[in-house]
Amino acid sequence: MNQLKFVGKVYLVGAGPGDPGLMTLKGKVLLEQADVVIYDALVSPNILTMINPNAEKINAGKRRGRHSLEQTQTTQLLIEKAKTYAVVVRLKGGDPFVFGRGGEEMEDLMQAGVPVEVVPGVTSGIAAPAYAGIPLTHRNYSSSVTFVTGHEATGKYRPEVNWEAIAHGSETIVIYMGVHNLHNIIKELTIAGCSPEKPIALIQWGTRSEQKELIGTLDNIVEQIEATGFEAPAIAVIGNVVNLHQILGNSLMDNG
């Protein structure tokens, strides 16, 4: 493999779930020093204000059915910018290595001979439930948690998530990007033995000022989504820990 000499370095930076207070100090410093920032659609506007005002800013965001740049284009853009700029930041919502395709990008950059470093971020699967008053583990409710994507890529290493194994293997299930496929996911979980009465919470725009929650059970949450027009982006939490939302969530709201 030919190794090319590059001027700069690419930093895969996790922007966290939205609340600017959850941005890491290291990530903030890199944004302030960046020569160019290539950012995703789910990075909050408040985080974007931290970017060096003289930096080039490029929106590479992907939302369902609306892609600013394809993944291969994004990676190639990072390679090209690293030939010119000293500090290239790839800014990703949440954590780059948790359903953020950061591992794929890092592999491609390393294969191209580009210096790269990952800067972890707070993932929405942990932060959004916390802001809704839902602890993912609790001695009286749950001693295990599974993180899983509800939206799988085509042509991947295996055809589908093993929902049966997840249903039996974990007391709390956190689903990323699952709103549009929730009907099928619930069907798989109930077939595997999950009770239709099992609590579920959907948390939209977690940790942001516009955060909303929809609370129900496996047998009525889809009906609630249709009735309210609830939309992505949202995290789903399934398990008895959701019942704590009534206690802890109200306390969080009371404390502002």
Which pLDDT tens digit goes with each residue over 123-156? 999 999 999 999 999 999 999 999 999 976 544 5
Catalytic residue among 19, 23, 40, 81: 40
Q: Are 7 and 82 in contact (CB under 8 A)?
A: yes
Distance CA 64, CA 72 (A): 17
- Of 26, 62, 212, 219, which is the active-site residue? 62
Q: List, in sequence order, every beta strand (DSSP E) within 15-166.
A: 36-39, 56-59, 62-63, 66-67, 87-92, 116-119, 145-149
Listing from the earlier edge strand, what are the strands of the sheet with 9-14? 56-59, 36-39, 87-92, 9-14, 116-119
- What number is the average pLDDT over the span 37-48? 95
Q: What is the pLDDT at residue 249?
A: 86
Task: Identify whether 62 is a catalytic site residue.
Answer: yes
Q: Given this model, what pLDDT does residue 155 score?
A: 47
Report which secondary-structure segment, H or E, holds 203.
Answer: strand 199-204
Tokens coding 96: 């780059």
pLDDT in tens, 184-228: 999 999 999 999 999 999 999 999 999 999 999 999 999 999 999
**What is residue 224's predicted lDDT score, i.e. its pLDDT?**
97
Three-state secondary-structure class, residue 97: coil
Would you call 95 a catalytic residue per the annotation? no
pLDDT of residue 160: 77
- Please confirm, yes or no, whether 23 is among the known catalytic residues: no
Rounded to two decimals, the pTM is: 0.89
Q: Which residues contact 40 (CB under 8 A, 6 or more apart)?
A: 15, 60, 61, 62, 91, 92, 93
Q: What is the pLDDT of residues 241-251, one digit of tens each?
A: 999 999 998 76
